Amino acid sequence: MPYKVLWEEDCVSLEWSGKISYQENIEANGILYGNKHFENISFIKSNILEADLSGFNLKNITVIGKLDKQSAIWNKNLKAVHIATNKHTLELISHWEKTMEGSGWEFKVFSTIEAADKWISEYRKSI
């Protein structure tokens, strides 16, 4: 399996590695949105540093974004945190964020896990 899902009190973390297929992404989203804890979390943290998304294109991401936007009905205040450095991956994330506009979600992209964790920790302290 090219991903691992870790549920915490207010966050779900996804660790992606290797070549990721469109179907695997849809499968992972189903695991998240089908979990009873989804509506109570504040953060989704996706570490894509070790993932290969070369098989994805903007059409795939548009479909994923539309499905994700529908899932936002159950959690309108989510903070989606991506950790990535690959140029193609960053372009896909940017397109996904545009597709998600109006969902109520907030988006952040970081180049390191440490920077993402620091932002999440600081955000928790501010509320």
Q: How far is CA 81 from CA 45, 85, 107, 116, in A?
A: 5, 13, 6, 7
For the chain, the residue count is: 127
Q: What's the pLDDT score for residue 13?
A: 98
Superfamily of domain 3-126: STAS domain (3.30.750.24)
3-state secondary structure the chain: CCEEEEECCCEEEEEEEEECCHHHHHHHHHHHHCCCCHHHCCEEEEEEEEEECCCCCHHHHHHHHHHHHHHHHHCCCCEEEEECCCHHHHHHHHHHHHHCCCCCCEEEEECCHHHHHHHHHHHHHHC
**pLDDT tens, N- to C-terminus, the chain (127 residues):** 699 999 999 999 999 999 999 999 999 999 999 999 999 999 999 999 999 999 999 999 999 999 999 999 999 999 999 999 999 999 999 999 999 999 999 999 999 999 999 999 999 999 7
Q: What pTM was estimated for this model as a whole?
A: 0.94
The single residue listed with the structure tokens 């090219």 is: 2
Q: What's the pLDDT score for residue 127?
A: 78
